[in-house]
């Protein structure tokens, strides 16, 4: 039996949350001032080296989410690393849509049944 792997490519956002003391914030501001950095991301290597705050190990949260900008692409590869199938995100479907349609039909059926019962009660 062959094995396959799904590779996903596209743009993403990665967000991390670190809790910092007022002293650490002041130290970061000092590093930025001394090095002439305008943006915090420019100081990330210095923050790690000088303050020992490892950027990839946050203590609050670490979230990676894909952008919904049409750039996502999928590749299905076999065990020999040959691309078997490739497709863009627009070739996939909303997996909730069939479920939502079934629920909508079910609710309409229930509503119509209850309405029929009320009408029948009015006449009998």
- Regarding whether 54 and 23 lie in a shared domain, the answer is yes
Span 76-100, pLDDT tens digits: 999 999 999 998 887 776 665 665 5
Cα separation, 26 vs 35, in Å, equals 14
Q: In terms of domains, do 100 and 119 share one?
A: yes
Q: Could you list the residue range(s) of the whole structural domain that residue 49 is in?
A: 4-92
pLDDT per position as a tens digit, 31-88:
999 999 999 989 999 999 999 998 888 888 888 888 878 888 889 999 999 999 998 8
The reply to whether 86 and 27 lie within a common domain is yes
Same domain for 23 and 72, yes or no, is yes
Our separate counts of H helices and E strands in the chain read 3, 5
Tell me which H or E stretch contains 112.
helix 96-123
Q: Which two tokens stand for residue 43?
A: 């100081």
SS3 124: coil
Check whether residue 53 and residue 103 sit in a common domain: no
Q: How many domains does the chain have?
A: 2
């Amino acid at each position: 039996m062959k094995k396959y792997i799904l590779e996903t490519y596209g743009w993403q956002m990665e967000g991390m949350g670190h809790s910092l003391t007022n002293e650490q914030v002041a130290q970061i501001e000092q590093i930025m001032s001394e090095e002439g950095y305008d943006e915090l991301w420019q100081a990330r290597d210095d923050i790690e080296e000088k303050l020992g705050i490892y950027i990839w190990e946050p203590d609050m949260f670490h979230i990676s989410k894909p952008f919904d900008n049409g750039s996502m692409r999928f590749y299905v590869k076999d065990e020999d690393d040959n691309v078997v199938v490739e497709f863009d995100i627009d070739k996939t479907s909303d997996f909730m849509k069939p479920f939502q349609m079934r629920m909508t039909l079910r609710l309409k059926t229930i509503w119509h049944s209850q309405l029929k019962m009320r009408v029948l009660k009015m006449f009998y």
